[in-house]
Amino acid sequence: MTGYLFRRLLQAVVVLIVVSLIVFGLLQLLPGGPARAVLGNRASPGEIANFIRQYGLNRPLPLQYLIWMGHLVRGTLGWSYTQNQSVASLIAERLPKTLILTVASVVLALLVGLPVGMVQAVKRNRSLDQVSTFVSFAFYSIPSFFLGLVLIILLAVEVHWFPAEGPQGTTFAQIMTNFRALILPVVTLALGGIALFSRYMRSSVIDNLVEDYVRTARAKGAGRARVLIRHVLRNALAPIATILGLFLPVLLSGAVIVENVFNYPGMGLLFWTAAIKRDYPTELAITMLAALLTVVGSLLADIAYAISDPRIRYVRR
């Protein structure tokens, strides 16, 4: 297990270094450099030179990369071009909101997706399974902004069950007291996850139902329900951990759109505003942070998988 942990950890560090090189490299692709992009075509050469000096863009590239990495590691994440604040302080306000939204969505997606997938597997190829397969494909294919808008029209404009905007409070307590406003964004973000988890759970349970241990348990007199819950469920859940890891980047992409639709001031909305204003340090820092969350998330998921299924630890290629 230690060997596995070590190799997996090393892999995560390498991936993060690759990500940081990619993200840093993106900024170098800017035609005319960030100064021209931020100050516009009418900026005088003096202003450009000033900007370049102020943000240290005249230093050699490897040095700029190291300085940028230094900012990342120390947690200051650079200085916003438009907000006159460190990117870290911008993100600090917003990150908890995005975390509340995404964690609530994952929990909802698991609570609905896993049981649905299990029922589908047990009743596979019957009409119930076919109908829910159709539904989960539809959920998987619906763009979250369309879904969000439809929910707003139906439940916030036609009948006033929920507010059309996400909670605007700044503290955790404020957001939680306005929980009603959080429901529509969470449901919108969770629906894709429900489709994903139910599909994987369905195939995972089907794969396990044909295993020898199921026949053995049945032969020893265990009832259908008992075999399903005590034996199959445990084994079928393990691979779901990795799907959870894969779902993270999808979730963070989704947060950008859902926060936009519901005007929920989290990291996704901050990212969007930064993109519209061409505030590259903020854009890149959030991209980097999202990648970090993804890498750490899938690392944890893989470790959970390896703990629950010893066969994984010995796989070497």
Partner 1 sequence: MTLTAQELLSADDLGIAARWGGDAGSPSPPFLAAARTFVENRLAVLGAALLVLLVLFCFVGPLLYHTNQITTNLGNADLPPGAGHPLGTDEVGYDVLGRLMAGGQTSLIIGIASAMLATVVGTVVGAVAGYLGGVVDALLMRIVDGLLSIPALLLVIVLATIFTPSTALLILVIAALSWLTTARLVRAETLSLREREFVEAVRLAGGKGRRAVLRHIIPNTIGTVIVSGTFQVATAILLLAGLDFLGLGIPPPAASWGQMLSTGVNYVYDGYWWLIVPAGLAILLTVLAFNFIGDGLRDALEARLRSR
**Shorter beta-carbon distance to partner 1: residue 12 or 222:** 12
Q: Is 269 in the site for partner 1 (CB under 8 A)?
A: no
**Shorter beta-carbon distance to partner 1: residue 28 or 54:** 28
Stretch that binds partner 1, among 39-47, 88-96, 211-219, 255-263 (CB under 8 A): 255-263
**Shorter beta-carbon distance to partner 1: residue 67 or 131:** 131
Q: Is 200 in the site for partner 1 (CB under 8 A)?
A: yes
CB of 165 to partner 1, least distance (A): 11
Q: Is 44 in the site for partner 1 (CB under 8 A)?
A: no
Footprint of partner 1 on 111-150 (CB under 8 A):
133-134, 137-138, 140-146, 149-150
> Site size for partner 1, by CB under 8 A?
75
Q: Is 224 in the site for partner 1 (CB under 8 A)?
A: no
Q: Is 163 in the site for partner 1 (CB under 8 A)?
A: no
**Shorter beta-carbon distance to partner 1: residue 137 or 172:** 137
With the C-alpha atoms ordered 150, 112, 304, 141, is the resulting torsion angle positive or negative? negative
Q: Is 262 in the site for partner 1 (CB under 8 A)?
A: no
The Cα-based distances of 82 to 38, 86, 277 in angstroms read 9, 10, 8
Q: Is 69 in the site for partner 1 (CB under 8 A)?
A: no
Query: Which residue shows structure tokens 């894709």?
Result: 192
Q: Is 13 in the site for partner 1 (CB under 8 A)?
A: no
CB of 26 to partner 1, least distance (A): 6
Stretch that binds partner 1, among 5-13, 45-53, 97-105, 106-114 (CB under 8 A): 5-13
Question: Three-class SS string for the chain?
Answer: CHHHHHHHHHHHHHHHHHHHHHHHHHHHCCCCHHHHHHHCCCCCHHHHHHHHHHCCCCCCHHHHHHHHHHHHHHCCCCECCCCCCEHHHHHHHHHHHHHHHHHHHHHHHHHHHHHHHHHHHHCCCCHHHHHHHHHHHHHHHCCHHHHHHHHHHHHHHHCCCCCCCCCCCCCHHHHHHCHHHHHHHHHHHHHHHHHHHHHHHHHHHHHHHCCHHHHHHHHCCCCHHHHHHHHHHHHHHHHHHHHHHHHHHHHHHHHHHHHHHCCCCCHHHHHHHHHHCCCHHHHHHHHHHHHHHHHHHHHHHHHHHHHHCHHHHHCCC
Q: Is 103 in the site for partner 1 (CB under 8 A)?
A: no
Q: Is 159 in the site for partner 1 (CB under 8 A)?
A: no
In whole angstroms, what is the distance from residue 133 CA to residue 130 CA?
5
Footprint of partner 1 on 278-307 (CB under 8 A):
278, 280, 283-284, 286-287, 290-291, 294-295, 298, 301-302
Q: Is 317 in the site for partner 1 (CB under 8 A)?
A: yes
CB of 122 to partner 1, least distance (A): 16
Q: Is 250 in the site for partner 1 (CB under 8 A)?
A: yes
Footprint of partner 1 on 22-41 (CB under 8 A):
22-23, 26, 29-31, 37
The residue count of the chain comes to 317
Footprint of partner 1 on 78-97 (CB under 8 A):
none
Footprint of partner 1 on 228-247 (CB under 8 A):
239, 242-243, 245-246
In whole angstroms, what is the distance from residue 29 CA to residue 314 CA?
42
